[in-house]
A and B are shown apart, each in its own frame.
Chain A
Amino acid sequence: MWLRWIRVLENTKVGLSSSSVSYEMSTWQPGASREALLRRACLLNRLRGFFAARSVLEVDVPLLGKSSITDVNIDSIAVTVDGTTGYLQTSPEYFMKRLLADGSGDIYYLGKAFRDGEIGTRHNPEFTMLEWYRCNWDDHQLMTEVADLVNMLITEEHSSPMAVTKMSYGQCFIDQIGFDPHDADIERLRRLAVELGSSSWSDESRGNCLDLIFSLKIEPKLPSGIVIIHDYPECQCALSKISKNQKGQLISRRFEVFIDGLEIANGYLELTNIDEQVNRFKDDMQYRMQEGKSLRAIDQKFVDAVLSGLPSCAGVAVGLDRILMRALNATAIDQVLAFSWHRT
């Protein structure tokens, strides 16, 4: 009896962080129902079948590495390995690109990824990621394959596949907000961000303001079914190629996929130019320094691989837990994970 009370007290003390989900006091049980467990197993099976039929090779790359990424908005989890610092990988991207540079051909990874600080109804610091690369494909070819895969994964037998809508990022802004984001004045973006968010957005970067406006004003109004947004602003290029759209504006060849408004994937026509790659790393470091974030050394082996020649390719990362949420109409990621972070 005493032991039980102590446990209850401990559970209360732990508190439940930033998430808006409330958890029961004692949670040894899994968050996923029996149905959710079965559905996950079935989904993973189908997925492997999909890629086997298309001759894309499954690769198992390290989850634990000596380096991490420099990305300004993604924080990795540092761990101690044999007395030195290692990092749980935030995505299999660098290892996969090293395989691609070595001539692997089309490959996919299905496994875990870790990101620090991401906890909420749609986030868990450990999650299941599917990432794949298609050599000599462009981003639009890959978008079609993503839509095919998603429909194959979650469409029940005898029901018709979800509609697929493709829209450019710029057009979404013009339709929903009434201006073109690619040449909008930064002060205009900041004013709108302050109006939608709070006074703290008054000196934010272009990219952050655009993200806020997109999340609050455009995402809720996306059509149902599978929606693919492509041609992101140049300032949000991450590791994608930059090119010009029909209006002659610089855009990044990046796309995101949503199902009924829930973001599930992010893809690129991959950047292969080494000089530009290194410049982006340097910009990241600069930004991290300004923001007082921890600095990460540039992954030299990745740089060397790109230097030796990354084949022209398109790649995409998919959050499988999110797809499962949609398949089960779950409202929280906790309902599709055996044990979310709060339950461990």
Chain B
Amino acid sequence: MANYSTSEFRSGLKVMLDGDPCSILDNEFVKPGKGQAFNRVKLRNLKTARVLEKTFKSGESLEGADVMDKDMQYLYTDGDFWCFMEPDTYEQHQATEAAVGDALQWLSEQDICIVTLYNGSPLSVTPPNHVELEIVETDPGLRGDTAQGGSKPAKLVTGAVVKVPLFLDQGDVVKVDTRTGEYQGRVK
């Protein structure tokens, strides 16, 4: 991979730091009085999702990380691995539970997700921003109670639990924003 110098660091650039792939979030140029210039850099470790703050001498460089985001279709799981397919090449990738992470609770077969590949293997999975899922468990619906505020927990078919309005019932399909876990509306 190519090396990138501090002046090339910009948001979204993927670099290697202490053996882990990281994504640059922010890069600030600092130059004290007559001193050596340096760059304060915020990075997200793509393996652990932790945000780090590091300071490098200006002009230093880091090796680029072989990381890329690809749209892939979720096919199935055998309990150990989650299988994703590139829609254009039909190439399949097996993601571990660690790589799937929180996306697990939103995934339905056929969904198109963003799979982040590191050295060719799945490192993380980002579910679609909006998913439509069936309620499998919730307190009985209060018919007619559509205007009132108030909400109750509902378990969805994929395992996620979200807050939904009181009038909804088991079997209803709801639209949820996976980034916030918030109910967006009922799907007819």
Q: Which A residues lie at the B interface, using CB under 8 A?
A: 15-20, 71, 73-74, 117-123, 196-201, 204, 207-208, 211-212, 214-216, 219, 236, 238, 256, 263, 266
Please report the C-alpha to C-alpha distance between residue A199 and residue B18 in the assembled complex, in whole angstroms: 9
Asked if residues A120 and B28 are in contact (CB atoms below 8 Å), the reply is yes
Q: State whether A74 and B30 are in contact (beta carbons under 8 Å apart), knowing that A16-B10, A200-B60, A216-B55 are contacts in the complex.
A: no
Please report the C-alpha to C-alpha distance between residue A71 and residue B6 in the assembled complex, in whole angstroms: 21
Residue from B31, B34, B57 within 8 A of A236 (CB atoms): B34
What's the least CB distance linking B129 to chain A, in Å? 22
**A215 contacts which chain B residues (CB < 8 A)?**
30, 32, 38
Query: Which chain B residues (1-50) contact chain A, with CB distance < 8 Å?
Result: 6-10, 18, 26-40
**B26 contacts which chain A residues (CB < 8 A)?**
20
Q: Which 3 A-B pairs have the closest CB atoms?
A: A120-B29, A211-B35, A197-B55
Asked if residues A198 and B35 are in contact (CB atoms below 8 Å), the reply is no
- With CB as the reference atom, state the residue of chain B lying closest to A115: B31
* 6 cross-chain CB contacts under 8 A: A198-B54, A208-B36, A212-B38, A216-B40, A236-B35, A263-B33
What's the least CB distance linking B30 to chain A, in Å? 6
Q: Which B residues lie at the A interface, using CB under 8 A?
A: 6-10, 18, 26-40, 54-58, 60
Asked if residues B35 and A117 are in contact (CB atoms below 8 Å), the reply is no
**B8 contacts which chain A residues (CB < 8 A)?**
18
Please report the C-alpha to C-alpha distance between residue A201 and residue B54 in the assembled complex, in whole angstroms: 11
Please report the C-alpha to C-alpha distance between residue A208 and residue B6 in the assembled complex, in whole angstroms: 17
Asked if residues B58 and A117 are in contact (CB atoms below 8 Å), the reply is yes
- With CB as the reference atom, state the residue of chain A lying closest to B6: A18
Besides A219-B32, A238-B34, 13 other CB < 8 A contacts? Answer: A18-B8, A18-B9, A18-B29, A19-B28, A19-B29, A20-B26, A73-B31, A73-B37, A117-B7, A122-B30, A208-B57, A211-B35, A215-B38
What's the least CB distance linking A151 to chain B, in Å? 21
**B6 contacts which chain A residues (CB < 8 A)?**
18
What's the least CB distance linking A238 to chain B, in Å? 5
Asked if residues A120 and B33 are in contact (CB atoms below 8 Å), the reply is no
What's the least CB distance linking B33 to chain A, in Å? 5
Residue from B10, B31, B60 within 8 A of A123 (CB atoms): B31
Asked if residues B56 and A200 are in contact (CB atoms below 8 Å), the reply is yes
Residue from B9, B28, B36, B54 within 8 A of A121 (CB atoms): B28
What's the least CB distance linking B13 to chain A, in Å? 11
What's the least CB distance linking A288 to chain B, in Å? 13
Asked if residues B29 and A256 are in contact (CB atoms below 8 Å), the reply is no
Please report the C-alpha to C-alpha distance between residue A20 and residue B29 in the assembled complex, in whole angstroms: 8
- With CB as the reference atom, state the residue of chain B lying closest to A17: B7
Please report the C-alpha to C-alpha distance between residue A215 and residue B7 in the assembled complex, in whole angstroms: 19
**B36 contacts which chain A residues (CB < 8 A)?**
73, 207-208, 211
- With CB as the reference atom, state the residue of chain B lying closest to A255: B33
Please report the C-alpha to C-alpha distance between residue A263 and residue B55 in the assembled complex, in whole angstroms: 19
Asked if residues A73 and B28 are in contact (CB atoms below 8 Å), the reply is no
What's the least CB distance linking B34 to chain A, in Å? 5
Asked if residues A20 and B37 are in contact (CB atoms below 8 Å), the reply is no
What's the least CB distance linking B160 to chain A, in Å? 34
What's the least CB distance linking B63 to chain A, in Å? 13
Please report the C-alpha to C-alpha distance between residue A198 and residue B8 in the assembled complex, in whole angstroms: 18
Asked if residues A256 and B33 are in contact (CB atoms below 8 Å), the reply is yes
- With CB as the reference atom, state the residue of chain B lying closest to A21: B28
Asked if residues B35 and A73 are in contact (CB atoms below 8 Å), the reply is yes
**A118 contacts which chain B residues (CB < 8 A)?**
29, 31, 37
What's the least CB distance linking A231 to chain B, in Å? 14
Asked if residues B32 and A214 are in contact (CB atoms below 8 Å), the reply is yes
Please report the C-alpha to C-alpha distance between residue A132 and residue B51 in the assembled complex, in whole angstroms: 44
**B35 contacts which chain A residues (CB < 8 A)?**
73, 207-208, 211, 236
Please report the C-alpha to C-alpha distance between residue A216 and residue B38 in the assembled complex, in whole angstroms: 11
Please report the C-alpha to C-alpha distance between residue A204 and residue B35 in the assembled complex, in whole angstroms: 12
